[in-house]
């Protein structure tokens, strides 16, 4: 059985909800990623922040990214998967919610992220095709 832990990218880092978007952008650049899970004061997942969120949800509407926090950008119910979950559960979660990145949690701690690149590296073409068709359908947001 292939698990979420088998296909995830290790080394994911939180951005605390109180951190500003300019700091989030700097961290994204340092880590060479396009998304960061947002944590509350107890290091619990409260959202995901993408580079697109910063540009479209902050800069493009005239807000100052040094004055807007990651927590202010967190919307909806954050999705995640347990590190021991089967890859079929990963696909079900990602396609069912039309998401492109999925935090991986183990023992209540962030241990990695699964992105479309991780799926492409580890899954057969048929599964990747199903995922892409589901996630990139009209209305997909992340």
User: So what's the pLDDT on residue 130?
Assistant: 83
**Structural domains counted in the chain:** 1
Question: Residue 140: inside a domain, yes or no?
Answer: no
Domain membership of residue 61 as a residue range = 4-135
CATH code at position 67: 3.10.580.10
Describe the crossing of helices 87-96 and 125-135 by its angle, rounded to 10 degrees: 20
User: So what's the pLDDT on residue 138?
Assistant: 59
Judge contact between 130 and 91, C-beta under 8 A.
yes
pTM of this structure = 0.85
User: So what's the pLDDT on residue 29?
Assistant: 95
Residue identified by tokens 């202010």 is 72
Q: Write out pLDDT tens, residues 79-122.
A: 999 999 999 999 999 988 888 899 999 998 899 999 988 998 88
């Amino acid at each position: 059985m292939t698990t979420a832990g088998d296909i995830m990218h290790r080394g994911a880092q939180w951005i605390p909800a109180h951190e500003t978007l300019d700091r989030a952008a700097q961290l994204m650049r340092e880590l060479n990623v396009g998304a960061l899970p947002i944590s509350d004061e107890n290091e619990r997942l409260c959202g995901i922040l993408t580079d697109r969120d910063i540009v479209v949800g902050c800069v493009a509407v005239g807000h100052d990214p040094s004055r807007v926090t990651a927590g202010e950008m967190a919307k909806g119910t954050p999705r995640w998967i347990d590190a021991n979950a089967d890859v079929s559960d990963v696909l079900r979660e990602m396609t069912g919610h039309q998401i492109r990145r999925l935090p991986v949690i183990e023992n209540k701690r962030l241990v990695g992220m699964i992105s479309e690149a991780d799926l492409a590296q580890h899954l057969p073409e048929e599964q990747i095709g199903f995922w892409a068709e589901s996630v990139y359908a009209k209305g997909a947001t992340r």
